[in-house]
Amino acid sequence: MKIISVAQMKAAECYAIEHGISALRLMENAGTAAAGIIAEIVLEAFAQKTVCAVVCGAGNNGGDGFVVARRLHEAGHTVTVVLAAGEPRTEEAVAMFRKLPKGVTVLRYTEDSAEYGRAFTGSSMLVDAVFGTGFHGEVEGACAELFDAMNASGRPIFALDMPSGANADTGETAAHAVCAAATITFAAAKQGQMKAPASVHCGRLLLAEIGIPDEGLPRDATELLDRALLDRALPVRTADSNKGSYGHLLCLCGSRRYPGAAYMSGMAAARCGAGLVTVGVPEVLWGVLAARMSEVMVLPLPQTAAGGLSLAALDEVLAFAEKCSCVLIGCGLSPESETAALVRELLLRLRGTVVLDADGINACAGHIDVLRASRADLVLTPHPGEMGRLCGKTAAEVQADREGCAVSFARENGVTLVLKGAGTLIAAADGRLFQNNTGNPGLAKGGSGDILAGMTSGLAAQGIDPVLAACAAVHIHGLAADRCAEKQSQYAMLPTDLFSEIPQIFRDLSR
Ligand SMILES: NC(=O)C1=CN([C@@H]2O[C@H](COP(=O)(O)OP(=O)(O)OC[C@H]3O[C@@H](n4cnc5c(N)ncnc54)[C@H](O)[C@@H]3O)[C@@H](O)[C@H]2O)[C@H](O)CC1
Ligand SMILES: [K+]
């Protein structure tokens, strides 16, 4: 799904209306789609009809809420509407309010909080339809009290379009802002939903199409990684396929100081379906890794005195790479100048897809000409510090303009650039920009990057377009991390714990 601003959303609404889809129809579509999503989740969770309270504002978000209330009532649920900000004000909201069935109870906010408090605690779930994209500033008075009661009710809250009290452009949240279990956003994700704290208040972000034509949305908008993109990226494994159908990845990773990087990147690639994976490592690591990995093959290579890959490995690597569909360079390589020289020489000589991570990226700092001269299809996966070293900025400067740094670097150097961090960005050389909203601070540990690089390479080795391979890897990496955080906490989870979550994610994708 695309990520757009409030102004772009308004323009899209105008486009739809100019093309014969009325604002009332858009509201009907929004409320009906949202009710369908809620009913599906609720039935799965409660396996029965439920009681729900729909808290409505006076604007069009409230109008959506009236449609949701009607649709849930028609589906057999017991529905109460709470008017949080007095009578509906907009033409569409008034129209939808008048269409509320008699069976829907309407509570007008009064000083008597006991009445609507009972509506909340007597419900299985709540719908937040007070403020959407029209919110700005602070939450005061009745809304502050209502939102506090909603948040304190312990009931799951489904927010329509935005959690009320969160700014749809900036991602700022006012005090008392609603904390939703899920946010059903209309037509496209909103920029504010990608930024903390609003991204946290949103909970799970779900998209509801409301009938706005694609051409009504900005063509060059950033795309949010989602299930639909994974379905696009991941090939179905046909019955007559064999391991040769899924490529051969060579991982040039690891050094005496960092043997685990070779293990983590190699195993991550294998877990993502690559047909064959070989880790090319300094020969000192051969025994350690051969003992630790069965599926992943180990190619011992000439090493430096310090236990890193030596320039003497160049010809052997080039020969081996001839039969590979992707080469990953960098995880745990160590910053030795001889190893860095080997990396640059390989970038000038290799063809096909090459994923560059960690010390592979650092080897290019001050040698951007090598990236530009390379005839490989390059995917770089820097964290902000490595990105800063690449483009002569501090990590703080990179963080201050993540999109600008990623898009300009990818375009100027003709590479795919994965800028890691909260809301990882994937910038393609042709200007496309993707953003991820899975993952959590539990990933802030050594090894997480090795696994992401291995996943990216493992998917690219299967012939998946490198941009889509990077998008899929980033999204799945984050989904696995979210499962680990749920089970083991962000403190205790380890990067290698992701290996036990990745299979379930692929199973859910029924690949
Ligand atoms: N754009 C579309 O294609 C569609 C949008 N729909 C829904 O409409 C809302 C946006 O509706 P809008 O009337 O512009 O504003 P809200 O309903 O979000 O807010 C209501 C009202 O609240 C006032 N307000 C703003 N800030 C505050 C504050 N801090 N305190 C008190 N009151 C505040 C302001 O006057 C707003 O007008 C969008 O999110 C969708 O849910 C359509 O229904 C579907 C198509
Ligand atoms: K809302």
pLDDT in tens, 113-150: 677 788 888 899 999 999 999 999 999 998 999 999 99
Say if residue 64 carries a ligand binding annotation: yes
Region 19-37: what's the mean pLDDT? 97
pLDDT at 110 over 90: no
Are the C-beta atoms of residues 327 and 247 closer than 8 Å to each other? no
Are the C-beta atoms of residues 480 and 443 closer than 8 Å to each other? no
Provide the pLDDT for residue 46.
72
pLDDT at 47 over 80: no
Provide the pLDDT for residue 41.
87
- CA–centroid distance, residue 84 to ligand 2 (Å): 12
Say if residue 61 carries a ligand binding annotation: yes
Pick the CATH number of 242-509 from 3.30.420.80, 3.30.470.10, 3.20.20.100, 3.40.1190.20: 3.40.1190.20
pLDDT at 511 over 60: no
Provide the pLDDT for residue 369.
96
Is 43 or 152 the better-scoring residue by pLDDT? 152
Are the C-beta atoms of residues 457 and 249 closer than 8 Å to each other? yes
Tell me the per-residue pLDDT of 225-246, one tens digit each, with 9 for 90 and over.
999 899 989 988 888 988 888 9
- CA–centroid distance, residue 53 to ligand 2 (Å): 13
Please name the residue whose Cα sits nearest to atom 26 of ligand 1: 135
Side by side, the strands of the sheet bearing 182-186 are 105-108, 78-83, 51-56, 125-129, 157-160, 182-186, 204-208
Considering every ligand atom shown, identify the ligand nearest to the alpha carbon of residue 55 and give its number.
2
CB burial class (10 A; 0-12, 13-18, 19+) of residue 124?
Answer: middle
111 falls in which pLDDT band (50, 70, 90)? low
- How far is the C-alpha of 142 from the C-alpha of 120, rounded, in Å? 15
Is 398 or 511 the better-scoring residue by pLDDT? 398
- Which DSSP letter does residue 375 get? -
Q: Where are the alpha helices (DSSP H) in 102-226?
A: 113-121, 141-152, 198-202
Measured between its terminal Cα atoms, the distance across the chain in Å is: 21
Please name the residue whose Cα sits nearest to atom 44 of ligand 1: 27
Which ligand 1 atom is at minimum distance from the Cα of 62? 17
At residue 477, φ and ψ (nearest 5 deg) are -55, -45
Are the C-beta atoms of residues 321 and 348 closer than 8 Å to each other? no
Distances (CA, A) of 44 to 68, 75, 79, 219: 18, 15, 18, 36
Provide the pLDDT for residue 112.
59
Are the C-beta atoms of residues 418 and 381 closer than 8 Å to each other? yes
- How far is the C-alpha of 279 from the C-alpha of 295, rounded, in Å? 11
- The kind and range of the H/E element at 504 are helix 502-508
Residue in 21, 60, 109 to alter for ligand 1 test, most ligand atoms within 8 A of Cβ: 60
**Can you read off the two tokens belonging to residue 356?**
């560059």
Tell me the per-residue pLDDT of 403-425, one tens digit each, with 9 for 90 and over.
999 999 999 999 999 999 999 99
Tell me the per-residue pLDDT of 288-306, one tens digit each, with 9 for 90 and over.
999 999 999 999 999 999 9
Q: Where in the chain is the domain with CATH 3.40.50.10260?
A: 22-218
Ligand 1 binding residues, C-beta < 6 A: 9-10, 13, 26-27, 30, 57-64, 90, 131-139, 160-162, 186-187, 210
Which residues pair with residue 129 across a beta bridge?
56
Provide the pLDDT for residue 43.
73
- How far is the C-alpha of 342 from the C-alpha of 386, rounded, in Å? 19
- How far is the C-alpha of 436 from the C-alpha of 423, rounded, in Å? 5
Which ligand 1 atom is at minimum distance from the Cα of 58? 20
Tell me the per-residue pLDDT of 51-95, one tens digit each, with 9 for 90 and over.
899 999 999 999 999 999 999 999 999 999 999 999 999 999 999
Count of positions (residues) in the chain: 511
Which ligand 1 atom is at minimum distance from the Cα of 92? 43
**Of all residues in the chain, what percent carry a pLDDT higher than 90?**
89
ipTM for the complex?
A: 0.94
Is 378 or 50 the better-scoring residue by pLDDT? 378
Distances (CA, A) of 393 to 372, 399, 409: 19, 10, 12
Asked whether the CA dihedral 163, 166, 167, 169 is positive or negative, the reply is: negative
Provide the pLDDT for residue 122.
87
Q: Where in the chain is the domain with CATH 3.40.1190.20?
A: 242-509
Lowest-confidence region among 235-239, 391-395, 492-496: 235-239
Side by side, the strands of the sheet bearing 222-224 are 189-190, 2-4, 222-224, 433-435, 425-427, 416-419, 377-380, 353-356, 326-329, 248-252, 276-282, 297-301
**Of all residues in the chain, what percent carry a pLDDT higher than 70?**
99
Is 133 or 43 the better-scoring residue by pLDDT? 133
Tell me the per-residue pLDDT of 318-346, one tens digit each, with 9 for 90 and over.
999 999 999 999 999 989 999 999 999 99
Which ligand 1 atom is at minimum distance from the Cα of 23? 45
Average pLDDT, the chain: 95
365 falls in which pLDDT band (50, 70, 90)? very high
- CA–centroid distance, residue 250 to ligand 2 (Å): 49
Closest CA to 320 of 249, 264, 379, 374: 249
262 falls in which pLDDT band (50, 70, 90)? very high
CA angle 344/350/354 to nearest 5° reads 85
Closest CA to 435 of 107, 193, 233, 170: 193
Beta strands 297-301 and 326-329, pairing class: unpaired
Q: Where are the alpha helices (DSSP H) in 234-277?
A: 259-271
Are the C-beta atoms of residues 358 and 333 closer than 8 Å to each other? yes
Provide the pLDDT for residue 116.
79
Considering every ligand atom shown, identify the ligand nearest to the alpha carbon of residue 187 and give its number.
1
Closest CA to 191 of 199, 181, 200, 183: 199
Return the CATH architecture of domain 22-218.
3-Layer(aba) Sandwich (3.40)
Provide the pLDDT for residue 244.
85
pLDDT at 106 over 60: yes
Provide the pLDDT for residue 434.
97
Are the C-beta atoms of residues 391 and 362 closer than 8 Å to each other? no
Which residues pair with residue 427 across a beta bridge?
417, 433
